[in-house]
Amino acid sequence: MGHIALRDLDDDDVDAIFEMMRDPEAVAMAAFTASDPDDRAAFDAWLARQRSTPGVRMFVVTEDGGFAGTAGLFTVDGDREVTYWIARHAWGRGVATAALDLLVSHEPERPLFARAAAHNGGSVAVLSKSGFTEVRREVSFAPGLGRDVDEIVFALVPTLE
């Protein structure tokens, strides 16, 4: 693993993000994706909504300055959540954990929440390494898979000193 950093998302990143988010193996792991990852118009509309929504913060994950994924913060039903998507070429080398730790350092609000498909062992491990703990499990529809899957909800709570 090289030097991991977060930077603001730039218009020049959009094509790389689209390609990353349509990788079939990554879609299978993430599960909670677009129902048609190849639909560029839907992707562009989704990204435009995210970028214009107050409270949403989107970052590009870089490794040694090169594109390695995305990370973000958003609010759903009053809960602050984190998300990340690491490009397959960066899987299994600590990039996701380093990126998540940086992302968490950008957000003072606690608790922070995260969600992962239960079958995504890599993401479950990353969240655990970064101090998130499982708070519940639920069954949710995964558009990327076209079926219900087990989903784990995690929380990062303030530490007692």
- pTM, 2 dp: 0.93
Separation in Å, CA 36 to CA 21, 24, 25, 40, 143: 10, 11, 14, 9, 8
Domains of the chain: which residue ranges?
4-156
DSSP symbol at 149:
E
pLDDT in tens, 34-73: 999 999 999 999 999 999 999 999 999 999 999 999 999 9
The CATH class of the 4-156 domain is alpha beta
Q: Which of 91, 50, 40 is nearest to 69 (CA)?
A: 91
Q: Which of 75, 121, 74, 145 is nearest to 84 (CA)?
A: 74
Residue 132 pLDDT greater than 70, yes or no: yes
The C-alpha atoms of residue 26 and residue 90 are separated, in whole angstroms, by 12
